[in-house]
Structure 1
Amino acid sequence: MSEEAQVIARHRVHVVPVVLALANPPWQRDVWLDPSKFENIDHVFHTLFDDFCDADEPERYLGVSLRTDEEVALMRALGVALNAAAVEASHDTDAEYLQTAAWPEVVASAGRLAQVMVSNDLNLLSCGRHE
C-alpha cells in the first residue's frame, strides 16, 4: 500500500464511521444518549471539524480523508447542516442536538455522504487497488 493510501486509510477509519453514525438516528439515540458509551456529538464534531477533516473547508482534505470532489461537496453540506444544528442547540447537549429543526438535514446529508464514501471505498477494493 502506498504512503498516500495509508494516510487516507488512517483518516477514513475515523471519518466514515462518524458519517455513518450521523445517518442513523436509532443508533444516535442508543449510543449518544447513553452516558456509559464513548461516542457522542462532541466526538463527532472533533472528528469532522478538528482531527480528521474540516467540514467547514473540506477541500483541504481531498486526498487525505476524502477521495473525490463529490465527497468534498457532500462533506461541506454536512458541515453546514451540523453548524445549523449547533446554533440551535444552545445548551450543547446530545439530546438537544437530536431535537433541533436542523437535525433531519444533518441525517439526510450524512446519509448521502455515507453512501458515496462507502461506495467509493468498495469500488476501490473491488478493483483490487489499495490507493
Structure 2
Amino acid sequence: MSEDARLIVSHRVHVVPAVLALANPPWQRDVWLDPSVFEDLDHVFHTLFDDFCDADEPERYLGVSIRTDEEVVLMRELGVALNAAAAEAPNDTHAEYLQASVWPEVVAVAGRLAQVMAANDLRELAMLLDDEAVPGRAGNSGEHRGSGRRASKPGHRFAAGQPGNLPETPLASQAEGSAARVGCRRCSGRQHWQRGEGQRGCSEAYARLVRSAHPPP
C-alpha cells in the first residue's frame, strides 16, 4: 500500500463512522443521549469539521479523507445541514439537535454520503487486492482515486493552542492538529484533547454502530 493510500485510510477510519452515525437515528437516540458514552455529537463535529475533514470546505481534504468529487459535494451539503441544525440549538444540547426541523435532512444527506464512501472504499479495497495478486503491481493502490488530485497539507482552521504532551498516534506526523491541543467551534473556543487511542475507539464504535443497524435475527 502506498503512503498516499495509508494517509487516506488513516483519516477515513474516523470520518466514515462519523457519517454513519449521522445516518442512524436509533444510534443517535441510544448513544448520543447517554452521557456515559464517548461517541456523541461533539465527537462527530470534531471529526468532520476539525480533526479529519472540513465539512465547510471539503475540497481541501480531497485525497486526504475524501476520495472523489462526488464525496466533496455531499460532504459540503452535510456541513450546510449541520450548520443549519446548530442554528436551531441555542443551548447546544444533543436533544435540541435531534429535534431541529432540518435534522431529517442531516440524516438523509449523511445516508447518501455514507453509501458513496462505502462503495468507494470497497472499490479501492478491490483494487488493492488485485494489485497484490498480480506480480510487480503490489503497492500501487491509491493511484486510482477519482480525480487524482491531492489536497495540500491538511491544516486546522480552528487551531488555537499549543501541541500537548500526548501519546504518539499514527496521525500525529501526518496532519496538523491530529495529536494536538486544539480549539474548535463545537467547544466555543475551548480546548479539547484527542484521545490517543482514537483509531481503536472509532473502530469499536463502528462495530457497535453496524450491530445496531443490523441486529442479529
Equivalent residue, structure 2, for 1:90: 90
CA deviations over 1:71-123 (Å, ceiling 9, x no partner): 00000000000000000011101111000001000000100000000000011
Q: Which residue of 1 aligns with 2:36?
A: 36
What do residues 7-30 of structure 1 show as CA deviations (whole Å, max 9, x unaligned)?
Answer: 101100000000000000000101
Greater fraction of residues in helix? 1
1:35-74 mapped onto 2 (5 Å cutoff) = 35-74=35-74
Q: By how many angstroms is 1:126 displaced?
A: 2.0
Residue 11 (structure 2) aligns with: 11
Give the aligned residue type for 1:87. A
Kindly indicate whether structure 1 or structure 2 has the higher relative contact order, using CA contacts under 8 Å at least 6 residues apart: 1
Looking at structure 2, the residues matched to 111 and 56 of structure 1 have their Cα atoms a distance apart, in angstroms, of 18
Q: For each residue in 1:30-76, what CA deviation from the matched residue of structure 2 results, as whole angstroms up to 9, or x when unmatched?
A: 11001110011111111000000000000000000000000000000
Match of 1:39, SS state, is coil
SS in structure 1 of the partner of residue 35 of structure 2? coil
- Equivalent position of 1:103 in the other structure: 103
Query: What is the alpha-carbon distance in structure 1 between the residues aligned to residue 121 and residue 6 of structure 2?
Result: 13
Q: TM-score, normalised by structure 2?
A: 0.59
* Whole-angstrom CA distance in 1 between matches of 2:116 and 2:43: 22
CA distance in 1: counterparts of 2:102 and 2:44, whole angstroms = 16
Segments of 5+ residues of structure 2 without an aligned counterpart are 132-140, 143-217
- In structure 1, stretches of 5+ residues that fail to align are none
Which amino acid is 1:118 matched to?
Answer: A
Alpha-carbon distance between aligned partners in 2 of 1:91 and 1:41, rounded to the nearest angstrom: 14
CA distance in 2, matches of 1:42, 1:16: 16
Q: How many residue pairs end up in the alignment?
A: 131
Structure 2 CA distance for aligned equivalents of residues 119 and 75 of structure 1? 15
Is 1:116 aligned with 2:119? no
Q: Partners in 2 of 1:31 and 1:10 — Cα distance?
A: 24
| Structure 1 residue runs of 4 or more that deviate by more than 4 Å after TM superposition | none
Query: C-alpha distance in 1, partners of 2:57/2:19?
Result: 16
Give secondary structure in 2 for the equivalent of 1:91: coil
